[in-house]
Chains A and B, each alone.
Chain A
Amino acid sequence: MSHPQEEFREFVKISAASLHRTAYLLCGDWHLANDLVQEALAKTFRNWQRVQRADSPDAYVRRILINESNRYWRRRPNRAAQLDAAQHEPITPDSSDEIVDRSELLRALLSLPARQRATVVLRYLEGLSEQETAAVLQCSEGTVKSQSFRALNTLKTFFEREELPI
């Protein structure tokens, strides 16, 4: 096995779980998240030399993943409509209130515009700084701040309404 291939495999081993989590919160479906991560990693493999030369290979790959997710939503507007309809369905209480709350939060997250959703996931799931988030999304730190502010405002109403148990 060639040296770059070994490095690629090592990179996949380290970052796959984190990419998978990010993908899930971007699309709300574990199976779709699998596909998005596989495709993003295939594109990473194709451009592996360029990825290695990048200032932050991790940011580069996250950008590929977010672009893949956005492309998916653009190609399948029906899926977005289904999701939209699902958001208005009444939630049946489950055996655990916590599960209902998670589902509610996920819906609230998925109802955010794509950029705000990506900002929330990178900042509050992956714990990236504003600077790192801006590097992934290829925008200014000011944009990250404003997107976070708007997203938090939307989600804050959810927290206040639901008083989500943590």
Chain B
Amino acid sequence: MTTETEQRLSEALHDIVGTQPFEPDLASIERRGRRLQRRTTAARSAVGLGVVAVLVAVGLGAATGTTRPGTTHNHQAVGTQAPLPQAKGPLMRLADYIRANALGRSATQPS
């Protein structure tokens, strides 16, 4: 229900604004809109790159086994670690081949 005050207020507000002409500058609106759009895209890209950089840094940290200071892990001491089996290089494989062949020949050759 509209009270008398509401009615008078509504009429008075319409009276205040009257019929003020307004012609929006469409070219300027669209130019500004595009600039805002580019700025938003740039900001989002920067945030995306930042997130990727953080993820890469975390991934690298995990791969190299580095720990942050203050964290405790039950790593074995360096000296007590068992030596890792190492892949043989090409020279070592050649030496093995020659040794095996030489032994095999000497075993089959008549004395």
Q: Which residues of A contact B (CB under 8 A)?
A: 5, 8-9, 12, 16-17, 20-21, 24-25, 30, 34, 37-39, 41-46, 48, 102, 105-106, 109, 120-121, 124-125, 127, 152, 155-156, 159, 164, 166
Contact = CB atoms under 8 A, between A and B. Distances in A.
Contacts of A34: 22
A24 B24 contact: no
Contacts of A38: 24-25, 28-29, 32
A25 B17 contact: yes
Contacts of A164: 8, 12
Interface string B19-58: 0101111101110111011001000000000000000000
A121 B9 CA distance: 10
A42 B40 CA distance: 13
Contacts of A105: 12-13, 16
Interface SS of chain B: helix, strand, loop or mixed? helix
B66 to A, nearest CB: 43
A125 B14 contact: yes
Contacts of A41: 24, 29, 33
Contact of B15 (A24, A159, A166): A166
Most buried by A among B12, B14, B23, B33: B12
B5 interface: yes
Contacts of B20: 20-21, 24, 30
Interface residues of B, number: 28
A124 B9 contact: yes
Contacts of A8: 30
A110 B15 CA distance: 16
A46 B40 contact: yes
Given A38-B29, A43-B36, A121 B13 contact: yes
Contacts of B32: 38-39, 42, 45
A46 B36 contact: yes
A71 to B, nearest CB: 14
Nearest to A17: B22
Most buried by A among B9, B26, B37: B9
Contacts of A121: 13
Most buried by B among A16, A39, A41: A41
Contacts of B22: 16-17, 20, 34, 37
9 contacts: A5-B30, A38-B32, A42-B32, A45-B30, A124-B10, A124-B13, A152-B6, A164-B8, A164-B12
